[in-house]
Amino acid sequence: MAAFKKLTGLLWSLLLLTTLSVQAQTREISGRITDQKDGLPLAGVTVTVKGTSVSTATGADGTFSLKIPSGAKTLVISSVGYAQQEVAVYDNISVSLTVGESALSEVVVVGYGTKIKRDITGSVAKVGAKELGNTPATSFESALQGRAAGVQVEQQNGKLGQGIKVRIRGASSVSAGNEPLYVVDGVPVTTTDLSSNGAQTSPLADLNTNDIESIEVLKDASSAAIYGSQASNGVVLITTKRGKAGKSKIDFGFFSGVQEPTHLRSFMNAQQFVDYSRQAAVGAGKYEYRLGYWNTEQEGIDWWTNYVESRLKRYSAGNDDYKTYKVNTDWQKEAFQPAPITQYDLSLSGGNEKTTFYMAGQYLDQTGIAKNNSLKRYNGRLNIDHKLNNWLSAGMNMAFSRTLNFRVSNDNAFSTPLQSVALSPITPLIDPRTGLISGELDPETGVPNTNYPVYYNPMLSVKGAYYNTFVNRILGNVYGQAQIMKGLSFRTEFGMDQLNQTEEAYYGPITVRNTQYPRGGGFTSADQILNYNTNNFFRYFTKIKEDHDIDVVAGMSYQDQNHFSQGATAESFPSSAYKKLTSAGTKTDATSTETEFSFLSYFSRLNYKFKNRYLLALSGRYDASSRFGPNSRWGFFPAASAGWILSEEKFLADSKWLSFLKVKASYGLTGNAGIGNYPWQGLWTGDGAYASIPGQRPSQLSNPDLKWETTASADFGVEFGIIKNRVTAEVDYYFRDTKDLLLAVEVPGTSGFSSQIRNLGKLNNKGFEFSINSENIVTKNFRWTTNLNFAMNKNTITDLKGQELGIGNVNRAREGQPLGVFVAREFAGADPATGDAIWYKNTKDASGKIDRTPTSDYNEAADVVIGNPNPDFIYGMRNNFNYKGLELDVFIQGVHGNKIYDGGGQYMSASGSNGFDNQTTDQLNAWKNPGDKTMVPEARTFQANGTDPSSRWLYDGSYLRIKQLTLGYNLPKNVLAKIKLERAKVYVRGQNLFTFTNYKGWDPEVNADYQASNINQGVDFYSVPQLRTIIFGVSIGL
Amino acid sequence: MSNNRFKIIGILFIALALFSACTKGLTKNPYASIDESQALLTSSDVESALVGTYAQLCKGYVYGGDIFVYSELLGDDGNIAWSGTYQGMTQIFNKNIPVNNDFVEGTWLASYNTINVANNVLSALDKVTEANRNRVEGGAKFIRGSLLFDLVRLYAKPWNDGSPASNDGVPIILTPTRSITEASYVARNKVSEVYTQVIKDLTEAESLLPADNSFFANKSAAAGMLARVYLQQGDYANAASAADRVINSGSNSLTSDYASAFPYNPNNPNQVVGNTTEDVFAMQVNTTQGVNDFATFFSQAGRGDIEIVPSYFSDYEQNDQRPSQAFYQASGSIYCGKFDMLYGAVHIIRLAEMYLIRGESNFRLAPASPIGGVPAVDDINTIRERAGLAPIADNALTLDKIILERSHELSFEGFKLHDAKRLQKSILGIAWNDPHLIFPIPDREIKVNKNLTQNAGY
């Protein structure tokens, strides 16, 4: 046997295995393939004789030679990331390929393999390196936002490395996970939030976005069901970059810039605050007189005025400066800091016919906008592929990262920087009595103040505390692949994701008012997650009699995760110079615990293509998980899909304008096991110690029948291309019905438990999405392309057996409503006669009629649905303009129709009636005199006038953002030649440049981190706004 | 291609091995918890569950203090300035409690959670060694009875309002929950039924518990709680005799001065402080277990949400040491200083209360000869003299003076609301039996369990 010529990655793209020797040969042609953009040779390009399996690949210099059958007329030239071309056969052929992101020949990574886009019958969205690269965002999901139809990405707030919500075609679960499965080069990665400070972090922030070659999002059952029990929320496949045979490449990247809050709110200044507080004192006195607490109105007013004046004096550092508004502190400004960002990238790649490599390193140094927040990250990666002989190849991907996240407290903590807005503008930053930060020292007692400023001053935490989350992570896998015989291969992969996280907190003595550690205190924790998996599968493809293409995958997969964690707390340090627990006088607590889960799966997929136009795909996965009881541990998740490429049919083949048309449909089942470990067991826990004597208590009710949550999905889609595929589009309609919800079902508290995990309830998602890719203008020097995507999703909980989840919060899971719907009293403003807060009763009378009369008795009004945190639709649009070396890229992204509940409103926009919190300026519009018509009730010190949850703080959360705007310049060849560079680019990029919204808070992309959950969405609570970033960058290639 | 055969066989063999290697991994057992079937097998298991009951009892919502702080806030008639940010507490202080108040819900859930652990203990008494069985049973019954008492007086009409036999109380739960069944959807028992169960539990606890039981509930703790229950019912004979049993047990003695009943160490405010000689029953708090929510809300070392208004002190006598020993001024505000140790034991029953109960009851029972043989005036004077006051003459003693003495001695310790109801005193113009002074049944509970009825006024 002369040789089986291996075509490695390109082989995958064509799903063909060919031998050259068996073909009849009549002549040999040669040629050279280059990149149209820069004229450089392209290695690894596949050249195929059309309608045959005769093909080869170009070498490092871009050349190829191919023995072709005598009758061959056309060559098909294709390469990953480039538009496929067909050219007439002639010798010394010279072809230049253009980058073709929308081309139908594009290779798409699917579960356990690849497909070309043309042949896909499911729904898969792909985002490439070009769109993701050099985004000034900590985590790659941010870069994904708005890029793919039906993929909703929402960052909780503007703190670095914090939790990010990703929903693919809506939420499929109420109590189990709603985040997709993330698979990096075949390894399902750990996404467990390990943060201990009440705010989530995103473990995906450890990945280097610039290492990513492409992200494929598997959206429908047909594409995702091969991941079975973990696929209900979609699957995100991340493929990292690999080397190409040919000249070695060195790429260096650098960017640096500044970040700032996208928006600031308007708070009262010193004069407004003093006047308003006095107005509130009068309001309180009058109100209490009305209630009968005082003999005369004046008595009440005097008492409250006295009280308020004494408090104003206290908050004015004990002096009378407040009377002249001498001090006017902008506490909002104090919460923020200048925030530079810098990132360096270096990558080397290349190789030869036998071995290719990609190695890269990155350093990110990002300062957050919130005081004390910063992040440093170091990444390294090495991907190697090697062909041992003509049938065996092996390789390894290995990435390490170290992430140092210097964090701030969760949104609900007095110590989080942005809660400084509650402090009084009359309070000076520096207390003139001590020359120290206000609150740091009470000269009377010699210890920090206990009631000055009005609340704990978060600036004391900036000065005297820290909270560090450090991650060391190794993620990688090794694989071996054997070509057993023509068309049949076996691949085995062993992957590991090892995540080590330590957290360390220190709270100095000046934070005592917040932490209750008079001599300081501290906390450390360490988590080790070892997550390993193996995939072993056969793949067979064959072509029978020209017309039948068959591609079969069958194999197994096993995943096992062990999570060990430990923690310790201690307090009382000899001085604030000592910060490690070893120096602490009292060791207060120590913990260690461990938890595990595993999945065992067998899977198979069959793809059949007839006459290159009729497509069929069947897949199934048989899955078991340790999370379920022996009664129902196994589940089966099948899917089927079919497609018809009409444009291949005779009746359309001659169409001048329609170059491609495919219709497709899919149906299948996927599962969800995204719940905690051991949920089916009746458990006791040994955390019942009392006075240092160990104790135990029941902690969980048993449910041995607990099983998978199952989603049945259908997708109907049309893909078409017009004008030689210059415009391609995909339109999908889908519905997804989820049943047997893994629900934390509320049970009567009298049982001793508050909830139990059961399979109960149903929900569904219905939606419509489309994406359009268009090459609007393509000339020699100018190119304008547009990518547009749009998705609408309607989520409805159809059955919860009458119960409602989330009672006690504003967000609920309620039958007949979308997940997380806002339920509260409907606010009606101020009673024109009294200034009392009023709410619409919204109670049903005997005849079922809704009573819309307002009431000032909160308990008399009924809770009603006041809004939906889920958007009606989301969209993204990218316009890219190239003129010679100049490139302008404008990317807008938006969500529409969702509501935001500003949970901080009950303190900061509360008619000054819920404490001495400084108020937003809209509260100046409070009711003053009978007859006033206003939505702001009368200001009344401490009288809680309308401060209970209601639609008073519900706002429209729609927004449209200039998400990214880039202006770049590629240096021309003649200049490059002089400075001996292959490539060089300089660019200016703006991220979150402008936001158009009616939301009154800081930023409409928000979800208070301390309470974010499946149900709790769209709530703002002193949340740090998103970052507006402007960077300058260079990319240089050797 | 002859080596292909070996390739195929070799790879299939490896594949087969990989395919079958992992089924064992599907069984995972928890590390930090155990299956319920393994929880109550030995005497020590059951005793650990009793300790677990105390741990749940010591949560903030229950005997960590909230359940008593509510009484001071809801019962306040102008002695307190509340400036806290816990909205639920603000609502209680304003006597305008929405049905979804988080504290109302939290206390309900924590109480029944604790009762369930106690019921687990009681269900496994047969596993407990003979020597410890009474002690374990008594402890669980003490906790169950005490919590049912606190629940019924917060969430239902007062004993003395109308007919306790027809007024809805709270559900009585006497068996542990293993699964949720129809029977888990309980209805409310009547007020009188709850009191009957409370007295039964506490009486049995008193007879079962040893006289000395470290800081766990002992005989006196059960008798002391009984005295409190009987007093709330106006059953003065039983109240006096229960209080008398505590006083005569010799387990406790009054501290030399009032301040010593509330230990404070300015040099180490984070010191763990246990019981004083006067604590008949107190919850133990340390840096990791339990919480003292009196300190959280009253102390400047905590949140300092509760300030005392100056006019509060107007009815104290000149020489009374209690204002100066139990209150202090800081930054222009007055705070109650009884709870300034964050890790100090939560005083649940002090011996002083027993003297006041016996004294008041005997005064009311006069001219019958005093139970315990000590005239009412002597008991009141015991308290007065410890506070630095001159004894009161027998003929000068009135019920008002006893009640005033009681309010000074037990100020801000959780008696305010329940005394007002017992004495039928209106609060800031709100009648003692007004629905606003009764907690609603938590909204979540009403929604989850259709068999529960809501209180009037909600």
Delineate the domains of chain A, giving CATH numbers in brackets.
Answer: 8-100 (2.60.40.1120), 110-244 (2.170.130.10)
Question: How does residue A704 score in pLDDT terms, banded at 50, 70 and 90?
Answer: confident
Question: Does A626 score more than 60 pLDDT?
Answer: yes
**CB distance A536–B82 less than 8 Å?**
no
Q: Chain A contacts of B54, Cβ < 8 Å?
A: 690-691, 695
**CB distance B15–A702 less than 8 Å?**
no
**CB distance A690–B186 less than 8 Å?**
no
**CB distance B287–A588 less than 8 Å?**
yes
The confidence score (pLDDT) of residue B330 equals 81
| Sheet of A1019-1020, strand order | A954-956, A899-902, A1019-1020
Q: Please count the other Cβ atoms lying within 10 Å of the Cβ belonging to residue A601.
A: 25
| A826-830 vs A873-883, strand pairing mode | unpaired
Integer Cα distance of B177 and A753 in angstroms: 8
Q: Using alpha carbons, select from B76, B67, B39 the residue that is nearest to residue B419.
A: B76
Cβ neighbours of residue B373 closer than 8 Å, sequence gap 6 or more:
none
Nearest to A685 among B33, B286, B301 (CB): B33
Question: Does A423 score more than 70 pLDDT?
Answer: yes
| A27-35 vs A93-97, strand pairing mode | parallel
Answer yes or no: are the C-beta atoms of A1002 and A792 closer than 8 Å: no
From A303, which residue of chain B is nearest by alpha-carbon distance? B309
Q: Which residues of chain B have pLDDT under 70?
A: 1-8, 11, 13-23
Q: Which residue has the higher pLDDT, A723 or A468?
A: A468
% residues pLDDT > 90 (chain A): 71
Question: Does A247 score more than 90 pLDDT?
Answer: no
**CB distance A690–B115 less than 8 Å?**
no
Question: Does A808 score more than 80 pLDDT?
Answer: no
Q: Chain A contacts of B105, Cβ < 8 Å?
A: 749, 808
Kindly report the nearest CA distance between residue B127 and chain A, in angstroms: 16
Q: Does B309 touch chain A (CB under 8 A)?
A: no
Nearest to B290 among A687, A690, A944 (CB): A690
The confidence score (pLDDT) of residue A101 equals 44
Integer Cα distance of B132 and A903 in angstroms: 52
**CB distance B30–A538 less than 8 Å?**
no
Cα–Cα distances (Å) from A28 to A25, A71, A78, A196, in that order, read 8, 13, 19, 67
Helix axis angle, B236-249 to B351-365, nearest 10°:
140
Cβ neighbours of residue A207 closer than 8 Å, sequence gap 6 or more:
A139, A140, A184, A238, A379, A399, A401, A475
Cβ neighbours of residue B155 closer than 8 Å, sequence gap 6 or more:
B108, B169, B170, B438, B439, B440, B441, B455
With respect to residue B7, please indicate whether it lies within any of the assigned structural domains: no
**CB distance B304–A907 less than 8 Å?**
no
Q: Using alpha carbons, select from A761, A41, A678 the residue that is nearest to residue A350.
A: A41
The confidence score (pLDDT) of residue B75 equals 97
Q: Chain A contacts of B213, Cβ < 8 Å?
A: none
What number is the average pLDDT over the span A433-457? 94
The confidence score (pLDDT) of residue A64 equals 85
| A899-902 vs A1019-1020, strand pairing mode | parallel
CB neighbour class for A114 (10 Å; exposed up to 12, middle 13-18, buried from 19) = middle
From A857, which residue of chain B is nearest by alpha-carbon distance? B96
**CB distance B186–A750 less than 8 Å?**
yes
Q: Chain B contacts of A586, Cβ < 8 Å?
A: 270, 287
What number is the average pLDDT over the span A757-769? 94
* Residues 235-294 (B) with a CB less than 8 A from some CB of A: 269-270, 284, 286-290
From A591, which residue of chain B is nearest by alpha-carbon distance? B32
Q: Chain B contacts of A556, Cβ < 8 Å?
A: 18-19, 22
What number is the average pLDDT over the span A778-784? 88
| Length of chain A in terms of residues written | 1038
Q: Is the pTM of this model over 0.95?
A: no
Nearest to A747 among B38, B90, B184 (CB): B184
Task: Kindly write down the DSSP assignment for every residue of A573-612, as one continuous string.
Answer: -SSTT--SGGG-SEEEEEEEEEEEEEEEEEEEEEEEEETT
Integer Cα distance of A200 and A203 in angstroms: 9
Integer Cα distance of A696 and B305 in angstroms: 33
Q: Chain B contacts of A626, Cβ < 8 Å?
A: 25-28
Question: Does A470 score more than 50 pLDDT?
Answer: yes
With respect to residue B28, please indicate whether it lies within any of the assigned structural domains: no
Question: Does A14 score more than 60 pLDDT?
Answer: no
The backbone torsions φ and ψ at residue A857, rounded to the nearest 5 degrees and listed phi first, read -95, 110
**CB distance B31–A594 less than 8 Å?**
yes
With respect to residue B8, please indicate whether it lies within any of the assigned structural domains: no
With respect to residue B23, please indicate whether it lies within any of the assigned structural domains: no
| Length of chain B in terms of residues written | 458
The backbone torsions φ and ψ at residue A270, rounded to the nearest 5 degrees and listed phi first, read -55, -50
Integer Cα distance of B458 and B452 in angstroms: 13
Question: Does A100 score more than 70 pLDDT?
Answer: no
Q: Does B395 touch chain A (CB under 8 A)?
A: no
**CB distance B34–A684 less than 8 Å?**
yes
What number is the average pLDDT over the span A533-539? 92
Q: Does A678 touch chain B (CB under 8 A)?
A: yes
pLDDT, tens only, B28-38: 889 989 999 99
Question: Does A522 score more than 70 pLDDT?
Answer: yes
Q: Which of A65-69, A94-98, A269-273, A847-851 bottoms out in mean pLDDT, i.e. has the lowest?
A: A94-98
Answer yes or no: are the C-beta atoms of A419 and A491 closer than 8 Å: no
Kindly report the nearest CA distance between residue A151 and chain B, in angstroms: 33
Q: Which of A303-317, A379-393, A417-431, A801-815 bottoms out in mean pLDDT, i.e. has the lowest?
A: A801-815
Question: Does A697 score more than 80 pLDDT?
Answer: yes
- Output the CA torsion sign for A897, A902, A906, A907: negative
With respect to residue B30, please indicate whether it lies within any of the assigned structural domains: no
Question: How does residue A973 score in pLDDT terms, banded at 50, 70 and 90?
Answer: confident
Q: So what's the ipTM on this one? A: 0.93
The owner of tokens 């139970």 is B371
With respect to residue B25, please indicate whether it lies within any of the assigned structural domains: no
The backbone torsions φ and ψ at residue A226, rounded to the nearest 5 degrees and listed phi first, read -70, -10
**CB distance B48–A688 less than 8 Å?**
yes
The backbone torsions φ and ψ at residue B126, rounded to the nearest 5 degrees and listed phi first, read -65, -20
**CB distance A595–B53 less than 8 Å?**
no
Helix axis angle, B66-74 to B102-123, nearest 10°:
140
Q: Does B181 touch chain A (CB under 8 A)?
A: no
Mutate to test the interface with A, among B1, B5, B13, B26 (most CBs of A within 10 A): B26
Q: Does B426 touch chain A (CB under 8 A)?
A: no
With respect to residue B382, please indicate whether it lies within any of the assigned structural domains: yes
pLDDT, tens only, A725-749: 889 999 999 999 999 999 888 899 9
Domain count for chain B = 1
Question: How does residue A21 score in pLDDT terms, banded at 50, 70 and 90?
Answer: very low
* Residues 73-112 (B) with a CB less than 8 A from some CB of A: 78, 81-83, 85, 87, 90-91, 94, 96, 98-100, 102, 105, 108-109, 112
Integer Cα distance of A938 and A288 in angstroms: 13
Integer Cα distance of A33 and A40 in angstroms: 9
What number is the average pLDDT over the span A770-779? 91
Cβ neighbours of residue B131 closer than 8 Å, sequence gap 6 or more:
none
Nearest to B180 among A449, A633, A701 (CB): A701
**CB distance A751–B48 less than 8 Å?**
no
Query: What mean pLDDT is reported for chain A?
Result: 91
The confidence score (pLDDT) of residue A8 equals 36
Report the CATH number at residue B60: 1.25.40.390
Integer Cα distance of A710 and B130 in angstroms: 52
Nearest to B49 among A455, A596, A696 (CB): A696
**CB distance B286–A692 less than 8 Å?**
yes
The confidence score (pLDDT) of residue A80 equals 63
Q: Please count the other Cβ atoms lying within 10 Å of the Cβ belonging to residue A324.
A: 11
Q: With the CA atoms of A423, A427, A431 and A437 taken in that order, what torsion angle do they form, in degrees rounded to the nearest 10? A: 20
A520: left (phi over 0), alpha (psi -120 to 50) or beta: left
Mutate to test the interface with A, among B86, B123, B331 (most CBs of A within 10 A): B331
- Output the CA torsion sign for A1001, A1002, A1003, A1008: negative
**Radius of gyration for the alpha carbons in chain A, expressed in angstroms and rounded:** 32
A-B Cβ pairs (cutoff 8 Å, strict) = 290
With respect to residue B21, please indicate whether it lies within any of the assigned structural domains: no
What is the span of the domain harbouring residue B147?
37-308+320-431+441-446
What number is the average pLDDT over the span A956-968? 96
The confidence score (pLDDT) of residue A16 equals 34
Integer Cα distance of A648 and A609 in angstroms: 13
